[in-house]
Structures are given as structure tokens and as C-alpha cells.
Chain A
Amino acid sequence: DIQMTQSPSSVSASVGDRVTITCRASQGISTWLSWYQQKPGKAPKLLISAAVTLYSGVPSRFSGSASGTDFTLTISSLQPEDSAIYYCQQANRFPLTFGGGTRVEIK
């Protein structure tokens, strides 16, 4: 199985800060990676697909990048509504696997 290692597990930042979350795959997955945002008691929401493609309606402050087996989700200017848990997911092969999640809190 492909392991997805997310870091950090939590981050606390101020409004307007730049926040970066990393996901490392245990083997090559090309760009078969997505990022989701989940708020308490709610279903996840797709932010990024294919490592870098912003999903329709997602604010442009969210962006994704890829380098080898390392993937990054960046929030360029943190907003209060971005407080949530973020997950990466690889879709290169089954079983599909998620990262452990990163909790983003607003200072």
C-alpha cells in the first residue's frame, strides 16, 4: 500500500499568514493526488485534484504543487474560514489512501 505522510499534524497561524502543508508519498504517484478540507461535523470538500488543479469555486489563495513524491498545499493568505482539517489522498493505485490530516487553527 502507498503510505501518505502529512506534516505538520497541526499548525496555528494568524489571519493573512502563509500556511504550507506537506504530504509525502511512500512511492511515486505521479500527480495522482488530491487535497480536501474538512470542518467539524461536515463532509470533506475537494480543494485540489491532480496535485495542482484548483477545483471549481475554491478560492485562489489555495494552491497545490508537486515535486517527486512530495506534495504541498499552500494557503497564501490565511482567512478565518480556513480553520479546518486538511487531508491529502493518493489516487494512483488501490487501496486509495489518505494522509493523517493537518489541523489548521487561527491564532
Chain B
Amino acid sequence: EVQLLQSAGGVVQPGGSLRLSCAASGFTFSGFAMSWVRQAPGKGLEWVSTFSGNGGRTYYADSVKGRFTISRDDSKNTLYLQMNSLSVEDTAVYYCAKDLDYGLGSFFSDFWGQGTLVTVSS
């Protein structure tokens, strides 16, 4: 059974940092692209970042480029999102998501984590 278990979020001051993690099980983690998608309170879905499968490339939304870093440890079946220079606009529920297709990815997401609330507030 595919499972994506996300770390707890929290409250961070503007300008602060936070690292999210997403522990995967039930599939060959290294072979699949993984993404982060966020949802601000009461708003729609916003793609944040993707790490393609098989040690491929990383991609970022312009809104987080240069501040967020996606990484993965295939030996630990874990995806990470390092978030620096956080602003109130980054307040959202963050979801990790698994790609539907093995390899570089189709960038459709078939399994999602439970979501982690990140609140940026002073």
C-alpha cells in the first residue's frame, strides 16, 4: 500500500526557515518523480516544486525559486522541502505527491500525503 507520511508543520516567523519531509512506502521511491503542492487557506492548489525520478531534474515555481529547495534521499525513501526566507504569503497546507508514472514522470499525481500546515506569522 502506498503511503506518504508528512512531518508536522508549525508556526514560523517571517524570514524564518522550515524543512518539511515526506516519508514514502509501498512503492519504489527512487523511480518516481515527487512533487510539492500547496494550498493557502481557502484557496486553490498551487504547484511548488518537482523532483523527477531516477535522479533527474528539479523544477520550481517562480514564487519559491531561490528560497525553497527540493531534495530526496532515495536510501531513506524520503522527500524534503527546505523553505527559507519565508513570508506570510507562504502560509499554506503543503502536500507531497507521488507521480503516476515510473521514470522521469508524467507529472500527474496519484498519491498525496496528508498535508502539513505551515503558518508564517510574527
Contacts and interface: CB of A to CB of B under 8 A. Distances in A.
Interface residues of B, number: 22
Given A34-B108, A43-B113, A91-B108, A96 B44 contact: no
For this complex, into which size category does the number of interface residues on chain A fall? 20 to 34
B44 A46 contact: no
A50 interface: yes
Given A91-B108, A94-B59, A101 B50 contact: no
A97 B106 contact: no
A49 B106 contact: yes
Interface in B10-53: 35, 37, 44-47, 50
Contacts of B44: 87, 98-101
Interface in B52-75: 59-62
A91 B110 CA distance: 13
A43 B110 contact: no
Contact of A89 (B61, B108, B115): B108
Contacts of B109: 34, 36, 44, 46
B100 interface: yes
Given A94-B59, A96-B47, A100-B44, A44 B108 contact: no
B7 interface: no
Interface of B: 35, 37, 44-47, 50, 59-62, 95, 100, 106-110, 112-115
